[in-house]
Amino acid sequence: MIILAIETSCDETAISIVEAEGVFPDAQYRVRGNALLSQVALHREYGGVFPAMAKREHARTLVPILTRVLAEATLPHTDATPTFDAFDTLLAREYDLAADLHAFLAEQPVPQLDAIAVTHGPGLEPALWVGINFAKALAAAWNLPVVPVNHMEGHIFSSLFDGSRLASVEFPALALLISGGHTELVLMRDWNQYELIGQTRDDAVGEAFDKVARMLNLPYPGGPEISKRAEAARSTGTSSTYTFPRPMLTADHCDFSFSGLKTAVLYAIKDQTLTEEDRQAVSVAFEDAVTEVLIGKTKRAIDAHEVRTLILGGGVSANTHIRMAFTELCTDEYPDCTLYLPERALTTDNAVMIALAGHARLAFGTPPAADTIVADGNLSLAETPARKP
């Protein structure tokens, strides 16, 4: 089975073509084509993601990226001719994108594909809609089903993927998903069963990194900037002159809160002219506080549910210190719990993870009628459709 996957939930436009041989979760996967265009440089000027610009950029770049990915994948063609019956919706909503796609489809022989997977949430709704409308028009033209995928489920699969296979997971598994929009502890008693056992009550952890970076006059996205400075501070071996709170660390639940930590940083640096050394000292103290909270809450969840597999996913899982802390946690304290971290290239948003999650979705049920698929900015993993009877 060959799946074309589309991801436009935030500020990366990504398309991949993944071939799956065999049945989920034991299939052998081959990434036939994969491309990603980051809009980070454009959003940097605004200090964060600017939704209207994200939408416009997705619309502008989807067809060029599709062209590149199809060229890379070298798929066999069918004798079919594309149909343009469903183009009205795309024309009405995305005129330029519709014109580009129409011109592309008129030239392109129909490739042998089995399904189109597309992220339908969570994320920025205007951005999600571009990908969904594009997927629907493409699927109608090539007579393929559309498989809606939850972006966070994608991050879980990213962590389990070694480039050709998914790890064989022992349940119960626990996923700590840490990104720009989410901080969640998700319990999986089996494949396709997601129970949200903890989440942030205010800011997401990536958002806290981005906001603190902004206070330090560092560019967006702030995670890598803070991480770099914290690493520099750690390499000197001296302890930071700052200490920040660990919100909700001892509270008897698995929820998180990061807005108090962010405010503590704001007060600590108020009215100061910061040197690079100060920035490093704040970065390391902030990173320490975040890491301790993430570890503390994860331990609570592991203990409560006798977790056998720990999955770390989302953009923040690129953080070296956090990766190390979780590696040590499993080695030293939970040797019977296997840890999976995403390969660096798959930590940020990408479409390979959407193809993998799409393949799983197809194993668990028939995809819905394409016209019923809508963008849902707040889509939760707990809403994932149940296993087919």
What residue ranges bind ligand KG4 (CB under 6 A)? 10, 179-181, 206, 209-210, 221-224, 227, 314-316, 318-319, 348-349
| CB of 82 or CB of 224, closer to ligand KG4 | 224
Say how far apart CA 375 and CA 199 lie, in whole Å: 22
Q: Which does 150 bind (CB under 5 to 8 A by kind): ligand KG4, Zn ion, none?
A: none
Say how far apart CA 242 and CA 80 lie, in whole Å: 65
Sheet (strand 309-313) strand order? 195-199, 183-188, 173-178, 309-313, 338-340
The answer to whether the peptide bond before residue 76 is cis (omega within 30 degrees of 0) is: no
Torsion, CA 168, CA 171, CA 174, CA 177, rounded to 10: 40
Residue linked to tokens 């299939």: 27
Closest CA to 206 of 225, 226, 182: 182
| CB of 305 or CB of 361, closer to Zn ion | 361
Smallest separation (angstroms) from Zn ion to the CB of 349:
4
| CB of 247 or CB of 313, closer to Zn ion | 313
Strands, DSSP E only, in the chain?
Answer: 2-7, 12-21, 28-38, 115-121, 146-150, 173-178, 183-188, 195-199, 309-313, 338-340
All residues at 6 or more sequence positions from 328 whose CB lies less than 8 Å from its CB, including other chains: none
Say how far apart CA 148 and CA 375 lie, in whole Å: 9
Amino acid of residue 226 = I
Q: Which does 161 bind (CB under 5 to 8 A by kind): Zn ion, ligand KG4, none?
A: none
Smallest separation (angstroms) from ligand KG4 to the CB of 252:
28
Q: Which does 316 bind (CB under 5 to 8 A by kind): Zn ion, ligand KG4, none?
A: ligand KG4
Q: Which does 342 bind (CB under 5 to 8 A by kind): Zn ion, ligand KG4, none?
A: none
All residues at 6 or more sequence positions from 11 whose CB lies less than 8 Å from its CB, including other chains: 38, 39, 40, 43, 49, 54, 57, 127, 349
**In the complex, which residues of this chain contact Zn ion (CB under 5 A)?**
179, 349
Q: Which does 131 bind (CB under 5 to 8 A by kind): Zn ion, ligand KG4, none?
A: none
| CB of 287 or CB of 349, closer to Zn ion | 349
Smallest separation (angstroms) from ligand KG4 to the CB of 350:
9
Smallest separation (angstroms) from ligand KG4 to the CB of 343:
14
Smallest separation (angstroms) from Zn ion to the CB of 18:
18
Smallest separation (angstroms) from Zn ion to the CB of 7:
9
Smallest separation (angstroms) from ligand KG4 to the CB of 38:
9
Smallest separation (angstroms) from ligand KG4 to the CB of 16:
15
| CB of 314 or CB of 358, closer to ligand KG4 | 314
| CB of 124 or CB of 285, closer to Zn ion | 124
Tell me the β-bridge partners of 388: none
Q: Which does 247 bind (CB under 5 to 8 A by kind): Zn ion, ligand KG4, none?
A: none
| CB of 159 or CB of 227, closer to ligand KG4 | 227
Q: Which does 116 bind (CB under 5 to 8 A by kind): Zn ion, ligand KG4, none?
A: none
User: What token pair was written down for 117?
Assistant: 């997977």
Enter the DSSP assignment of 331. Answer: I
| CB of 61 or CB of 179, closer to Zn ion | 179
